[in-house]
Structure 1
Amino acid sequence: MSNGPAGHVARSTVRPHSETTRRTPLRTFLHTGDGVSVDSVYDPAAVVYDSSRPPAGDLVFVVAHGFTGDVDRPHVRRVVEAFTRYGAVVTFSFRGHGASGGRSTVGDREVLDLAAAVRWARELGHTRVVTVGFSMGGSVVLRHAALYRPEGEEREGCEGYEGCEGRAGAHTDVVVSVSAPARWYYRGTAPMRKLHWLVTRPEGRLVGRYGFRTRIHHREWNPVPLSPVEAVPRIAPTPLLIVHGDRDGYFPLDHPRMLAEAAGGHGELWLEPGMGHAEHAADDKLLARIGDWAGAQGG
């Protein structure tokens, strides 16, 4: 859902800062609770001497990309670059994407990939974790936050996942969901009808494998996972931000509004004028606003 943007395509305006230094990223393969290897990258925070912003401290952003993305895609790296000005960043390729193992389940078992990345971020010494997901990744961060308790015990609904044992350190402290669907099986737009063809048809899965470096599982969901709109009420009191563009060509505005309604008085909704879909459409000003908002939560 991140390849082929709807609306305008954001271009990076981040420029090297004369008083900014960067350390070498760390790359490794993590292993999920069900045994899938996940290609992961840790980018330390840029050291920016800017008195108008608080220091990055122990803050880390764990970025969950959209469908057909991976850690090496330029639009994913642009998001990483923007967030390193606020804290460290962990990003990873979901199962079936890029160099990661396994096959994509299009948002189901991907919660285990995100849990492994969050644990790694905490093992690296970070105590404040912000999960930021785009499109498919946006649905994953919502479900992950609903399934994993801060004390490391799984919430109701986690028992259906092999390897979802809720070990300590798998929870998030702040959740940001960008361009996410509210419900499954949505086919109301042309891009989503094309995506369903890609996922459900053998010839579509071949296009995914060789055209988008995305290996898609042929099995249907069984059982059907908790939907994003069902997950949202279970996230409180963890801070929640829902971001959506009013020109999103994949999911119209009833999706973010359903999510916001499900959140009730908890969380915030940003409807962005002129914004299209996911990472491609999230410009640097929006990413900076997200970074500022996330840094202010519980800091």
Structure 2
Amino acid sequence: MSNGPAGHAACSTVRPNTETGTGTPLRTFLPTADGISIDSVYDPGAVVYDASAPPSRDLVFVVAHGFTGDADRPHVRRIASALARHGAVVTFSFRGHGRSGGRSTVGDREVLDLDAAVAWARRLGHARVVTVGFSMGGSVVLRHAALHPGTVDAVVSVSAPARWYYRGTAPMRRLHWLVTRPAGRLVGRYGFRTRIHHREWDPVPLSPVEAVPRIAPTPLLLVHGDSDGYFPLDHPRMLAEAAGDHGELWVEPGMGHAEHCATDDLLTRIGTWTAARAG
């Protein structure tokens, strides 16, 4: 395992993809294997002012957002715009989030949502499919790659937990209240536009740290901030140890948690890493 370089925020300059000649974004609802409709958006890529780094037309990023996010949230759109400098991008809303159907299972059945989005990316003709997940989505991309081997060409997991039921930080204690209490689920529905399932996991799904060893030989990148307020550094270190030599760990100095704290520089480095290793 290795620690990647630290970076500082940089302004990205991206033109709308309507200027590329590759087509406008496509939006649809994808059915999952268990019958949930998932709101999904395909962006074929963007023209960038930096002509030395054109987007790859065979590469597509499938972005898995964090808990309470959705495909229309500004922080998710910012991630998509940054990655579109390197290839096409599929974003979607997990079940129970945004305009998707169903109710959130907080990382369990969401593997089926991601699998539907990955399959769509393949049907759109992309030879290289890379999953990029943040927080809850980071755990989902790890579990998806383990449970559906060979379906993706690289995996990037940002700010993911290593194990379930972690309550060691105040933000995670608040999140557990949101998920497990009726009053919390009401706050989730009306305050965060997130519909949360009332049933507990049965059985408990494969944990991220149990999933990671099954991902090899698919290239794996783990990214975590050393100022993450949700999951301290023992989480990425557990994942890195479980991954062994087939993955990389970047500990980002000063970075907080997930999409909101992913700088443009970090997203550029993720795009460059992916283009070099996927496929």
TM-score range, shorter chain: over 0.9
| Helix, strand or coil at the partner of 1:62 | strand
Write the distance in 2 (CA, Å) between the matches of 1:55 and 1:43. Answer: 12
Residue 245 of structure 1 aligns with which residue? 225
Unaligned runs of 5+ in 1: 1-9, 151-170
Shift of 1:14: 2.1
Residue 64 of structure 1 aligns with which residue? 64
Q: CA RMSD in A?
A: 1.8
CA contact (8 A) 1:20 1:49 kept: no
Shift of 1:47: 3.3
Q: Could you say if the C-alpha distance between residues 112 and 12 of structure 1 is closer, same or farther in structure 2, counting changes exceeding 3 Å?
A: farther
Q: Could you say if the C-alpha distance between residues 231 and 283 of structure 1 is closer, same or farther in structure 2, counting changes exceeding 3 Å?
A: same
Aligned residues with identical type, % of pairs: 79
Residue 203 of structure 1 aligns with which residue? 183
**TM-score in terms of structure 1 length:** 0.87
Residue 155 of structure 2 aligns with which residue? 175
Question: What code does the residue aligned with 2:63 have?
Answer: V
Q: Could you say if the C-alpha distance between residues 253 and 103 of structure 1 is closer, same or farther in structure 2, counting changes exceeding 3 Å?
A: same
2:266 to 276, 286, 289: 286
Residue 4 of structure 2 aligns with which residue? none
1:227 to 194, 207, 213: 207
Write the distance in 1 (CA, Å) between the matches of 2:95 and 2:108. Answer: 11
Residue 140 of structure 1 aligns with which residue? 140
Shift of 1:16: 3.9
Write the distance in 1 (CA, Å) between the matches of 2:114 and 2:17. Answer: 33
Number of residue pairs aligned between Structure 1 and Structure 2: 270
Shift of 1:127: 1.0
CA contact (8 A) 1:76 1:279 kept: yes
**TM-score in terms of structure 2 length:** 0.93
Q: Could you say if the C-alpha distance between residues 188 and 47 of structure 1 is closer, same or farther in structure 2, counting changes exceeding 3 Å?
A: same
> Is it true that 1:218 corresponds to 2:198 in the alignment?
yes
CA contact (8 A) 2:53 2:85 kept: no
Shift of 1:149: 2.2
Residue 40 of structure 2 aligns with which residue? 40
Unaligned runs of 5+ in 2: 1-7
| Helix, strand or coil at the partner of 2:213 | helix
CA contact (8 A) 1:19 1:49 kept: no
| Helix, strand or coil at the partner of 1:285 | helix
Shift of 1:46: 1.3
Question: What code does the residue aligned with 2:61 have?
Answer: F
| Helix, strand or coil at the partner of 1:196 | helix
> Is it true that 1:13 corresponds to 2:11 in the alignment?
yes
